[in-house]
Chain A
Amino acid sequence: MKEFLEGSRAVAEIVKMCKPGVISAYPITPQTHIVEELAQMVANGELNAQFVNVESEHSAASVVLGGVAAGVRSFTATSSQGLFYMAEVLFNISGMRLPLVMTCANRAISAPINIWNDQQDSLSLRDSGWVQLYAENIQEAVDLHLIGYRLSEDKSMMLPVMVCMDGFILTHGMEAVDMPKQEEVDKFLPAYKPLYKLDTAEPISMGLLADPDYYIETRFAMQETFKDALKLIPTINEEFKNCFNRDYKDGLVEEYYTKDAEKVIVAMGSVCGTIKEVVDAQRAKGKKIGLLKVISYRPFPYARVYDALKDVPRVAVLDKAVSLGAYAPLAIEIKAAFSGKKKSPKVISSFVAGLGGRDITAESVKEILTKLTQKEINLEFIDLKPELLKEEYGE
């Protein structure tokens, strides 16, 4: 049965059903509603968990690190500066091969301070050793948390998962959501059985110093595991489909009218909903437009992207982030997918939009399609206000 739920409420509900024993978080907009809901569930006795109110995101990440190291499924959530304050701990969690799920309610980065949505925060942490999965809507955000715990705790993985959902747009938006039943969740996600833990009955040491004789192999092993994840994510999604009757195909990308498309936009997150509307409208007019939605940014599914786009003449990559001084983060990966390959789109143009919460409207998407000509564009900002630029430079 579908319920009309706020995104944060829906995420809190699914996290509750995943039964974490340790939850720790520090307030930051727009993540707060998720952890407020969880705190209330604990206060109501609906959720048997230790909710640790910490003095910083650094400690929130450290507390869940300690919780899962002691053998208990744990959860945290953050955004933007909070994610950056956690950064040091995030690398540490993945390096120690501790399974965790965290929600990143995507938000812009300071300065200037801005609480609204883009994806600069999580994309800046792309090298942290966390799987990064991006949700298009609230239903997907819910489902990705379930899939995330399964993936993270799989014995062949033991890596943390970051579920990225666009701040406000998804965290504060309302949607009819098909919430699973507890018994279905229990079947899909059994109780956490750690491979290793801090236990006085069987003492182990964790977090040892690895000198040049040992360090590089730890990174090699993680890289190999990320490769394996490209196979495991589809397997888990298949199982998910059988349990919950929702089909995300391989769970790595979603192809939306890409097969015969002449122009395809590649994007991640909630903007894909807007793009789908434009695609539908254009298709109704007989125009061969499509969307490739990237769900898994880490691991990045190069082979799937290649298959999906190799026969598409023109591709536009829409990033809600920048890598200042270089191509945009998603565009870099899409271009890399065709490096040295036989087939390739003739044009892969890169566009940046929506930074700091500037709306990406159907008009913005249409502008990108208009600009997607035979001439490749390497990074153009969409929806800039010329009058502000004049002021900036005093022209």
Chain B
Amino acid sequence: MESELLFKPGHTACAGCGQSLAARMVIEAAGKNTIVANNTGCLEVFSTKYPESAWNVPWIHSLFENCAAVASGIEAALIYLGKKDTTNVIAQGGDGGTADIGLQALSGMLERGHDILYVCYDNEAYMNTGVQRSGLTPFHTNTTTSPIGPKSVGNVRFKKPMPEIANAHGIPYVATASAGFPQDIQRKVKKAISIKGPKYIQIHVPCPLGWRHETELMLEIGKLAVETGLYPLIEYENGVLSAVRKITQPKPVEEYLKAQGRFKHLLGNPELIKQIQDIADNNIRKYNLKG
């Protein structure tokens, strides 16, 4: 049985790592006829330390920011070899490798129309280097480069709207997903690879180490981000918002914040919590999440 797994156990991810769960969901949904190009980051480090590899599909890591371009070359080679119709290509990286240093290569890949699924594992900071702030770090988050102090309440900017940026390229499929909803990840990956052209899926992946929460809370915290409206699960098809995961009874953001050390400084400060609640409420309105 184990030999048939595409992402094998025994790698060195932390306990409760949301990214390792999500990565396994992605590759199992995509299937064995898949080639993966991986940016530098936690996933690359914990899954492929020589002489071992967790990957049972062809897998390549080149640099921090170029998986979208490497995947473009792989796709071009597969077209040349006449193998593209029977092979999926996935490019994947973390939030820093996607939204910051890798944004240019990603934009090029999306604009050129390659038949590639790009997966961004969003744990909302540079976890591999020790929890530094990225372009996808949320507002008011305490990280090692957006620390709290007498003159700081954490990260001063909102998350870069990557799904909208990807969607603006006019690509056929964009979705967000969460490690808190593993089956939903698989459904979206299967849907994405059934569509020809560039696809972008951004998966919210809790990081117990960087977010400073108990490891057994990973799934619950992932779910809470969705159920508060802070991480809306949405799908764009051909540029149009086609589906959202409805929230029947939105939970207050404080429930999400209080379990995580990175937001601890907000607790007991109703004004700051209100600012986070406003982000959630705005998402609920913008994407019509209530229902």
User: A residues near B, CB below 8 A?
Assistant: 21-22, 24, 48-50, 52-56, 58-59, 62-72, 74, 88-89, 92, 96, 198-200, 203-211, 214
Contact of A89 among B35, B57, B62 (CB under 8 A): B62
B66 interface residue, CB < 8 Å from A?
Answer: yes
B73 touches A22 (CB 8 A): yes
- Collect the chain A residues with CB atoms within 8 Å of residue B50's CB: 208-211, 214
8 Å CB contact of A66 from B33, B56, B70: B70
The 0/1 profile, CB within 8 Å of A marked 1, for residues 176-218 of chain B is 0000000000000000000000000000000000000000000
Inter-chain CA distance A66–B80, complex, in Å, is: 13
- In the bound complex, residues from chain A placing their C-beta under 8 Å from that of B276 are none
Contact with A along B89-114 (1 / 0, CB 8 A): 00000000000000011011001100
Does B48 count as interface, using CB distance less than 8 angstroms?
yes
Assess whether B59 is in contact with A209, with CB atoms less than 8 Å apart.
no
In angstroms, Cα B107 to Cα A49, docked, is 23
With A53-B112, A70-B78 as known contacts, state yes or no: A59 contacts B60, CB within 8 Å. no
Given the known A-B contacts A203-B57, A204-B58, are A74 and B108 also in contact in the complex, defined by CB atoms under 8 Å? no
- The minimal Cβ–Cβ distance linking B286 to chain A, given in whole angstroms, is 30
Find chain B residues with CB under 8 A from A68 CB.
Answer: 73, 77
Given A198-B74, A200-B33, check contact A66 B87 (CB 8 Å): no
Indicate if B225 sits at the interface (CB-CB under 8 A).
no
Interface positions of B (Cβ within 8 A of A): 32-35, 37, 44-45, 48-51, 53, 55-63, 65-66, 68-81, 87, 104-105, 107-108, 111-112
Across-interface contacts of B63 in A (CB, < 8 A): 62, 88-89, 92
Assembled-state Cα–Cα distance A210/B44 (Å): 12
18 contacts between A and B (CB under 8 A): A52-B76, A58-B104, A59-B66, A65-B70, A65-B73, A66-B60, A66-B69, A66-B70, A66-B71, A69-B73, A74-B73, A88-B63, A199-B58, A200-B57, A206-B61, A208-B61, A209-B44, A209-B50
Of the candidates A24, A49, A59, A209, the one whose C-beta lies within 8 Å of that of B45 is A209
Q: Tell me the minimal C-beta distance from B196 to chain A in angstroms.
A: 16
Closest-CB distance, B76 to chain A (whole angstroms): 4
When distances are taken between beta carbons in the complex, the residues of chain A under 8 Å from B78 are 70
CA distance A24 to B68 in the complex (A): 14
Q: Which residue of chain A is the closest to B38 with respect to CB atoms?
A: A207
Bound Cα distance A254, B242 (Å): 68
Contacts of B105 in A (CB 8 A): 55-56, 58-59, 62
A224 to B112, CA, bound (A): 40
Additional A-B contacts beyond A62-B70, A203-B59 (11; CB < 8 A): A21-B77, A21-B80, A58-B104, A63-B70, A72-B76, A89-B62, A203-B55, A205-B58, A206-B59, A207-B60, A208-B48
Q: Is the CB of B35 within 8 A of A50?
A: no
A205 to B49, CA, bound (A): 10
* CA–CA, A58 and B80, complex, Å: 22
Contacts of A207 in B (CB 8 A): 48, 60-62
A203-B62 contact given A22-B73, A210-B50, CB 8 Å threshold: no
Q: Which residue of A lies closest to B64 (CB)?
A: A88
- Most chain A CB atoms below 10 A, which of B45, B57, B76, B80: B76
Q: Taking the nearest CB of chain A, how far is it from the CB of B34, in angstroms? A: 7
Complex CA distance for A88 and B104, rounded to whole angstroms:
16
CB pair B73–A198 under 8 Å, yes or no, is no
Whether B48 pairs with A59 at a CB distance below 8 angstroms is: no
Distance to closest chain B CB from A49 (angstroms): 7
CA distance A203 to B55 in the complex (A): 8
Q: In the complex the two chains form, what is the Cα distance from A21 to B81 in whole Å? A: 8
Are A200 and B32 within 8 A (Cβ)? yes
Among B33, B49, B69, which residue has its beta carbon within 8 angstroms of that of A59?
Answer: B69
Question: How close is A310's CB to chain B, nearest CB, in angstroms?
Answer: 44
Does A66 contact B73, Cβ atoms closer than 8 Å? yes
- A51 CB, nearest partner CB in chain B, Å: 9
A62 CA to B45 CA in the complex, in Å?
20
Write the chain B residue with the least CB distance to A207.
B61
Among B48, B56, B78, B79, residue most surrounded by chain A Cβ atoms (within 10 Å): B78
Collect the chain A residues with CB atoms within 8 Å of residue B76's CB.
Answer: 21-22, 24, 50, 52, 63, 66-67, 72
* Contact with B35, one of A21, A64, A198 (Cβ below 8 angstroms): A198
User: B60 CB to closest chain A CB, in angstroms?
Assistant: 4
Cα A31 to Cα B18 in complex, Å, equals: 46
Give Cα distance in the complex from A89 to B67, angstroms: 11
Give the CA-CA distance A65 to B65 in the complex, in Å: 14
In the complex, what's the smallest C-beta–C-beta distance from B145 to chain A, in angstroms? 22
Q: Give the 9 A-B residue pairs with the shortest CB-CB distance, closest first.
A: A66-B73, A62-B69, A70-B77, A55-B108, A207-B61, A50-B76, A21-B80, A59-B69, A63-B73
